[in-house]
């Protein structure tokens, strides 16, 4: 079964736009769990424009499902993850001022850097994942670096899906097969939606997890959070 992890960054963005604590990030996370989410994802950035470090500390003791923290492994981020000890950490090559993640790691170039960080997290009992594009060599270096999983960067799939779904998903199938042959788990995320998620899942049914935030929260504005989560879960079961 492919798990659905809901990224709640956009909820924090809405809260921060007004100040105060509306909407309540912790309550929304707990509601996501109640409505069927298999996990919660957060991506704290240095400028605190959405999820903040104090949100991460507040979420950890109350969540009942899997907690995934993603982000660039700066010293501050590494310290946060080692203190909170989530179930999973996903390393993303974001610049500090980046609006959203728009590329995967060059695991060959950054092999030594990633290996050391992965070892620290693994020693702390935290499952590791590396955000990566569809490239066989980069998957091989990710495996050599010691990651437990990769997360496929799926924006190119979402963009290509509109015109040619089969062509769009093919490189992801091939990359996922290579990862599986190397003993790696496979996650996916970025621009997955109700329109393209089921097709992706049907072609890579051994996916461990998808992390979805922007589209899911946008859909919830129209359908409500409970119905939206159920609809996304349905995409991962048919």
pLDDT at residue 96 is higher than 60: no
Mean pLDDT taken over the chain: 95
pLDDT at residue 33 is higher than 70: yes
Residue 116: how many other CB atoms lie within 10 Å: 12
Confidence at 105, pLDDT banded by 50, 70, 90: very high
* Catalytic-residue membership of 43: yes
pLDDT at residue 190 is higher than 80: yes
Q: What is the pLDDT of residue 134?
A: 95
Cα–Cα distance measured from residue 64 to residue 82, given in angstroms and rounded to the nearest whole number: 19
**Strand runs labelled E in the chain:** 3-7, 39-42, 66-71, 88-91, 127-132, 149-153, 185-189, 209-212
Give the residue among 152, 146, 149, 92 at the shortest CA–CA distance from 122: 146
Q: What is the pLDDT of residue 46?
A: 87
Q: For a pLDDT cut of 70, what percent of the chain falls above it?
A: 96
Q: What is the pLDDT of residue 225?
A: 98
Are 213 and 41 a contacting pair, CB within 8 Å?
yes
* Catalytic-residue membership of 70: yes
Query: Could you give phi then psi for residue 3, rounded to 5 degrees?
Result: -85, 150
Total tally of structural domains belonging to the chain: 1
Catalytic entry in 66, 70, 151, 209: 70
Mean pLDDT of 105-122: 96
Give the pairing type, strands 3-7 and 66-71. unpaired
Mean pLDDT of 117-140: 97
pLDDT at residue 26 is higher than 80: yes
Mean pLDDT of 29-58: 96
Catalytic entry in 43, 66, 151, 209: 43
Confidence at 154, pLDDT banded by 50, 70, 90: very high
Q: Is the dihedral of CA 53, 37, 210, 10 positive or negative?
A: negative
Give the residue among 172, 102, 237, 167 at the shortest CA–CA distance from 229: 237
Q: Which domain holds residue 67?
A: 3-235
Q: For a pLDDT cut of 90, what percent of the chain falls above it?
A: 93
Query: Could you give phi then psi for residue 187, rounded to 5 degrees?
Result: -110, 170
Neighbour-count burial for 37-69, b at 16+ CB within 10 Å, e otherwise: bbbbbbbbbeeeebbbbebbeebeeebebbbbb
Q: What is the pLDDT of residue 102?
A: 59
Cα–Cα distance measured from residue 116 to residue 14, given in angstroms and rounded to the nearest whole number: 36
Cα–Cα distance measured from residue 86 to residue 197, given in angstroms and rounded to the nearest whole number: 26
* Catalytic-residue membership of 87: no
Tokens of 167: 């062509």
**Per-residue pLDDT tens over the stretch 64-81:** 999 999 999 999 999 999
**Residues counted in the chain:** 238
Query: Which CATH number is 201's domain given?
Result: 3.20.20.70
Token look-up 């050391």 returns 116
Tokens of 36: 């069927």
Mean pLDDT of 171-193: 98
pLDDT at residue 116 is higher than 70: yes
Q: What is the pLDDT of residue 66?
A: 98
């Amino acid at each position: 079964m492919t798990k659905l992890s809901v990224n709640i960054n956009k909820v924090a963005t809405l809260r921060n736009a007004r100040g105060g604590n509306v909407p309540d990030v912790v309550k929304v996370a707990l509601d996501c769990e109640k409505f069927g989410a298999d996990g919660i994802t957060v991506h704290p950035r240095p400028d605190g424009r959405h999820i903040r470090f104090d949100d991460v500390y507040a979420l950890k003791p109350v969540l009942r499902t899997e907690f995934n923290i993603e982000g660039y492994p700066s010293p501050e981020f590494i310290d946060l993850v080692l203190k909170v000890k989530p179930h999973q950490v996903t390393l993303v090559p974001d610049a500090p001022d980046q609006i959203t993640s728009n590329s995967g790691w060059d695991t060959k170039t950054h092999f030594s850097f990633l290996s050391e960080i992965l070892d620290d997290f693994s020693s702390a009992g935290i499952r590791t994942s590396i955000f990566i594009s569809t490239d066989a060599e980069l998957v091989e270096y990710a495996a050599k670096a010691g990651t437990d999983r990769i997360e496929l960067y799926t924006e190119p799939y979402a963009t290509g899906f509109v015109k040619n779904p089969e062509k769009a998903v093919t490189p992801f199938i091939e990359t996922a097969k290579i990862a599986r042959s190397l003993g790696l788990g496979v996650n996916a995320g970025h621009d997955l939606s109700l329109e393209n998620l089921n097709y992706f899942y049907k072609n890579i049914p051994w996916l461990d997890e998808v992390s979805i935030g922007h589209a899911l929260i946008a859909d919830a504005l129209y359908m409500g959070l409970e119905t939206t989560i159920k609809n996304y879960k349905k995409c991962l079961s048919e």
